[in-house]
Every structure is written in structure tokens, then in C-alpha cells.
Amino acid sequence: MKTKLTSRIVATTLVTALAGIGLTLPAAGATGPAAKPTLNKTHGTAHGKTHDKALQAGVDAILKTGTVGVVAQSTGPRGSRYANAGVADKATGAAARSGDRFRMASASKTFVATVVLQLVGEGRLSLDDSVEHWLPGVVSGNGNDGSRITVRQLLQHTSGLFNYTADFAPLTSVDAYQAGRYTTWTPEQLVGIAMRHAPEFEPGAKWSYSNTNYILAGMIIEKVTGHSWEQQVTRRIIRPLGLRDTSVPTTDTRISGRHLHGYSDFGKTGPTIDTTAFNPSAAGAAGAVIGTTADLTRFYKALLGGKLLRSAELKEMKTTVRTPDLDVVWPGASYGLGLMRIPLTCGGSYYSHAGDLPGSATRNGISPDGRRVVVLHATGDGASDLSTERAQSDLIDGELCA
């Protein structure tokens, strides 16, 4: 998301740092005093799953920055370890637990990019196809020209298209969110918001995150296959991998089953509210998927392990361009086709795609071969500085470097 998000009443370093990773930005104010860490042990394990002191320490560090609940899973050749802290629901006091569902926000983009690249591998479209070829007249007006933008540039965020969520009323304040959280949006309406603005730069000139790119990618999936992006993600990824706790809602405002609640005050524009229920059509292919740490882990292992894409398409996904806007949080980070690449402090790098919605954040790290995966989700606005983000990055880096 662009740093000149004047509609959000936030003006901290965090805005600049996280401008390129989620559907929206965490608000500047902390949710309140950190909840007391809860180990959630059952006979020495986290709800019957392997518990780990080092991982728990990292989770507790995130909670102490002002988040409400945190769940984390670290998986390697020897199996998975889990740690949790805080609460899943402030109203009931229910503890955050492994297996809780959550909205993964822009981590959804990796699913969408995977489907597009599968279609490329099947010869049904090309990364060099223009947007105009598949969506005639959709990207036009105010200097926007779909004939000059390729599918690759959409997935890579080098299209120059305005980020529609930077002019999206429901994200501006507590009152605006309350008023618009149940509205149904079509992809055409979301792209239309972006078309009210001139392009930010010439296609391919540089990198700048825009959720508009992935709304268009979802529309292209439907045009190519005759089925919605939600149906294609379900048929091609969720069902084959047995992701039983992952779903792709269209307009259902609820999260079924046991889940984590999000909490935000939208930059101190009102009281902290429960943000969990909302119409996911506002996010669409840019961030509507719901899942768990276990299901995300299985997806990442399959993807980076070469089970979802042919080697040529996986190589395209992992080919990155620099993202200097993100250096304040992830020095040296770069972006491929639906995946970020982030340097490790111990050498080498890992792949990732963060995701943010009001009051919740998904973070992850995957080794290049997919054998080691770390996934965490935290709720609440967190700290007004970068301490929450740094604690999350430290946990992922520490686990992958261990």
C-alpha cells in the first residue's frame, strides 16, 4: 500500500514500513496492555501438540508489544512445534490456541499467483499477455492503459496502478468501518476506484504495492477458466492439499468454527472494536482467504517443494525485484510473483508474504526448498512503533536460522 495513504489517520514510521504488505495497515495506537501469556499446555504440550520454549519466548515477546492474541507454528524435517499467547476473544476470554482460524489477508495473494502460474504452465495464458487482452476496457481512463500492462506486472506489483485501498472509505475510521463493513463489492467496483486515479508510474518502471493488481488477477482467472478465482483456488489448491480449515468466502461475513478475533481503533479514531466480521468481497482476490497456521504451512511446503507448480513457473515466482520501500522493516527485501524474498541474519534468505487487515496480521517465512516453514498470526493493533513488527521478524528469523 502506498505511503501517502492520507485517508488513514496514521502518521508513524509503521505506515512507511508496512506500506507494501497488506490489504490495509495496522493502526498506530496499541490496543492496550498486553494480555498475560498463556502456554495452553496439555500434559506438557500445546493442546496435545509439541510445545517449544524458544518459540514460546518469541510469541510472548510479540504479545508484550501490545497485541491481543498470538499463535505460531514452526515446522522442519523433524516435525512441527507450536506456541500461543493471549486471547482469541476478548469478550469470552477464550485463549488463543493452535488450530484457530483467521483471515490471512494479503497472504492470500500467493494462492492467487499460484493459480495464475498454473494456468501459464497449462498454456492457457502468458505472463506477457496484456491486461487489455483478457479484460478489454477495464483498465482505462485517467491515463490508465491496460494494453501497456502485463499479467507479470500485476503479480509483481510493477504495474503502476493506483492502490484502491488507499481511497477506500471503510478503512478510514472506526465509524466508517462500522458503516461499510457489510457492504458487498464487485471486482469491477474495486478496480473502478483505482481508475479514478492516474497511474503512479509507467508500467515496469519500479515496484509499488497495489491491491488493485490482484483484483485484476482474480478477474483474469475467471476470464480464462470460466470459473471464479475462489472456485479455482478451492479446486486447484485447497482440495488437493486437504486444507480442511481453509476457505475462500465470497460475501459471508463470518469465520466459522474456532477463530481469532481482530481488534483495532483505526489510528485512534474511536474506541477499539472487534473487526472480525466483515464482507470479504472488499478484499476479493487481494486478501479474502481464511485459514490456519497448519494449513498455511502445508500450502507453503507444497508450493516451495515443487508440488503445485512446474519448475519453470516456480522459477518465475521466485524471480524478484527490489522493494526499497520495505527496507526499514526487512532490509534487502525483494518481491517476485506473489512472494517476497527476505534476507536471513545468518545468511541466505527466505520467502514470505505478509498480510494485514484492521486489527490482525499474518506473518510467515519459508525456506527456498519448502522444508522449513514458520507461520504466525497476531491480533490487535500492536505497538505504535516498529517493535511489534520487529518481534515478529525476530521470531521468524530465529526459527529459520536455528
Catalytic residue set:
106
Q: Distance (Å, rounded) from C-alpha 180 to C-alpha 190?
A: 14
Name which of 241, 380, 364, 386 is nearest 302 in CA terms: 241
256, 247 Cβ separation under 8 angstroms: yes
The SS3 of residue 349 is strand
Which residues fall within 8 angstroms of residue 240, CB to CB, at 6 or more apart?
none
237, 114 Cβ separation under 8 angstroms: yes
Q: Distance (Å, rounded) from C-alpha 159 to C-alpha 168?
A: 20
Q: Distance (Å, rounded) from C-alpha 175 to C-alpha 198?
A: 28
Helices vs strands, H then E, count in the chain = 13, 18
In degrees to the nearest 10, what's the CA dihedral of 323, 397, 18, 287?
90
Tell me the three cell numbers of residue 276.
472480525
| 375 phi, psi to nearest 5 deg | -130, 135
The SS3 of residue 204 is coil
By the 10 Å C-beta count (0-12 exposed, 13-18 middle, 19+ buried), 137 is classed as: exposed
Q: Distance (Å, rounded) from C-alpha 235 to C-alpha 238?
A: 6
Q: Which residues make beta-bridge pairs with 339?
A: none
| CB hemisphere CA count around 26 (13 angstroms) | 33
112, 214 Cβ separation under 8 angstroms: yes
The SS3 of residue 220 is helix
